[in-house]
A and B are shown apart, each in its own frame.
Chain A
Amino acid sequence: MSSVEPFQIRIGDLRERFRPQREWAEGPGLLLIAAHFLTGSGAGAWLVAVLLGLRPGLMMGFSLVAVGAFFHLLFLGRPERFWRMMSSFGTSWISRGIVGVTLFLASAAVYLSLTLLGLGETVLAGAMLFLSVLGALWVVVYKGFVWASSKGIPLWNTPLVPVLYIAYALRGGTAVLMLLAAAGAAQEPLGSLEPIKLWLAVSTAVLVLIYIDVMRGSGMTALRSVNLMLFGRVALPFYFGALALGLIVPIGIGGFAYFGDLSAAWLALVGCLSLVGDLSIIYCIAKAGLYRPLPV
């Protein structure tokens, strides 16, 4: 049996009234989803680690953003021209994002180097830390706007997407730190992370419900996209990955943590599942995207 060429799929899509978005969700598009997941979780981990003073989290956050940025490069059709992507800062959210990622990686690298050299208390280190926090905030915020500025796809073209992505980035960052702490890389108590994690998980679950409900009433195309998530070809990663593993189980385990101590293994499980959930929701939103039908 001969395989279907991507261009044949594209030609087939052009005949559909509601054409699926594939460029950012299939094949090499999965690299972009991985890039947004990694940079979001990494920047979130950096911010929470700075807030709570968890030093191992800084290194992990930096590494994740660096790997995510590399995935971003791999996704490009012409990665050797990546430097051009900073030239439209005034209008393009990808351009703004690349500037933010560069600012973060450069300042965080200098800060980590100074810390390793024992110069972490100097004025220069303080300035670099400030810039890195600015860069991390930038990275957490920009991704949602990249998707939300796509006029062709109503499921993404809403201000709720940036809010959702910010929540998921912070949640993912906290989950990364929980994994680190559970693995013994961090000496700090796990207790400081779990309340943050639970609060973020609950608020993210509420946000997902609001998003789904709002998009159901945002026109025929958005409704079709939501139906793809709830009943169609994106239902499995949505129910199993984003909802069950990503939200319900972590919230359940987090709730038990209020009545008694949980072992490091359980907390590591919560961290892992949360990350699976984060990746799943980014994938689901990308995959369920449909182009507006042409008004004929």
Chain B
Amino acid sequence: MRYGMVIDLKKCIGCTGCALVCKVENATPPGIVWLRVIKHETGKYPQVRRVSIPLQCMHCAEPPCMEVCPTGATSKRADGIVDIDAEKCVGCRYCMVACPYDQRFFLAKERHYFKNGPTPFEQIGYQRHQEGVVSKCNFCAPRLEKGLEPACAANCMTKARTFGDLEDPNSEASRLIRDRGGYQLYPELGTNPSVYYLPA
């Protein structure tokens, strides 16, 4: 079992709904952006294209963040999810400089979105976040335990995201990678990411 995500750049319209639902699902404080969408323009007038590329933790099969973590706080689960145990993290931020995808975030101090203190939603959601430690996308592991897909995949309005088992050749994710020429970011670094992109 190796969970992975396939993102079809042809279907992605750059609505940033995945980034928004990630924030809501995980109640991440200001400055903590587990999922973001970058916009990229290619070509020259009049042949110009704008491509939206969602970015999140790649859940690498060979994660450099796990290798450098001095406490063992970062680990790879049997299902391929690279997770952080906040209780073990010392906040040295070594994983942040080791991650070639810049997908880790350090919460120096808890902040709120509004001046009058935390909202009831923040009060509940922020219990999952500790000050002084690093955090990142965990493929919505609590949702997976309930048999649900990650929030970004479940809420993508154009169905650009396909979540599944990359080790199962019959899964939809594996089929898309095979048939549509799915590619990884920075394969030359040997990290073997579990997030694949389908060409736009």
The chain A residues found within 8 Å of chain B, CB to CB, are: 5-8, 10-11, 14-15, 19, 21, 23-24, 28, 75-79, 81-82, 84-88, 91-95, 98, 146, 149-153, 156, 289, 291-292, 294-296
Q: Which residues of the partner chain A approach B96 to less than 8 Å between Cβ atoms?
A: 23, 152
* Closest chain A CB from B5 CB (angstroms): 16
Which bucket holds chain B's interface residue count? 35 or more
What is the CA–CA distance of A84 and B70 in the complex, to the nearest angstrom?
7
A76 and B111 in contact, given A294-B55, A294-B101 (Cβ under 8 angstroms): no
A152 and B91 in contact, given A7-B111, A88-B71 (Cβ under 8 angstroms): no
Nearest-neighbor residue (CB-CB) of B189 within chain A: A151
* Complex contact B68–A93 (CB within 8 A): yes
* Complex contact A85–B70 (CB within 8 A): yes
Any A CB within 8 A of the CB of B90: yes
The stretch from B30-38, B147-155, B156-164, B170-178 touching chain A is B30-38
Q: For chain B, what secondary structure do more than half of its interface residues adopt (helix, strand, loop), or is it mixed? A: loop
* Closest chain B CB from A4 CB (angstroms): 12
* Complex contact B97–A152 (CB within 8 A): yes
What is the CA–CA distance of A15 and B37 in the complex, to the nearest angstrom?
10
* Complex contact B31–A11 (CB within 8 A): yes
Any A CB within 8 A of the CB of B14: no
Q: Which residues of the partner chain B approach A146 to less than 8 Å between Cβ atoms?
A: 94
Q: For chain A, what secondary structure do more than half of its interface residues adopt (helix, strand, loop), or is it mixed? A: loop
Q: Which residues of the partner chain A approach B92 to less than 8 Å between Cβ atoms?
A: 75-77, 85, 94
* Complex contact A23–B31 (CB within 8 A): no
- One of A8, A11, A21, A79 near B97 (C-beta < 8 A): A21
> Which residues B130-146 have CB closer than 8 A to chain A?
130-134
> Which residues B69-92 have CB closer than 8 A to chain A?
69-73, 88-92
Q: Which residues of the partner chain B approach A87 to less than 8 Å between Cβ atoms?
A: 70-72
Q: Which of B67, B90, B96, B134 has the most CB of A within 10 A?
A: B90
B49-78 near A? 1/0 per residue, CB < 8 Å = 001010100000000101111111100000
A23 and B93 in contact, given A14-B33, A151-B98, A295-B186 (Cβ under 8 angstroms): yes
* Complex contact B132–A5 (CB within 8 A): no
What is the CA–CA distance of A33 and B117 in the complex, to the nearest angstrom?
35
What is the CA–CA distance of A146 and B67 in the complex, to the nearest angstrom?
12
Q: Which residues of the partner chain A approach B31 to less than 8 Å between Cβ atoms?
A: 5-8, 10-11
* Complex contact A294–B97 (CB within 8 A): no
A to B CB contacts below 8 Å, 9 in the list? A14-B36, A77-B132, A77-B133, A81-B88, A82-B90, A92-B94, A151-B64, A152-B99, A291-B100
* Closest chain A CB from B43 CB (angstroms): 14
* Complex contact A292–B100 (CB within 8 A): yes
Known: A87-B70, A146-B94. 15 other contacts (CB 8 A): A7-B111, A21-B97, A23-B106, A28-B108, A76-B90, A77-B91, A77-B106, A77-B131, A78-B90, A81-B89, A84-B72, A149-B98, A150-B94, A151-B98, A156-B97
What is the CA–CA distance of A76 and B90 in the complex, to the nearest angstrom?
6
**Interface pairs A-B: 6 shortest CB-CB:** A77-B91, A7-B31, A77-B132, A95-B70, A84-B71, A94-B70
* Closest chain B CB from A104 CB (angstroms): 17
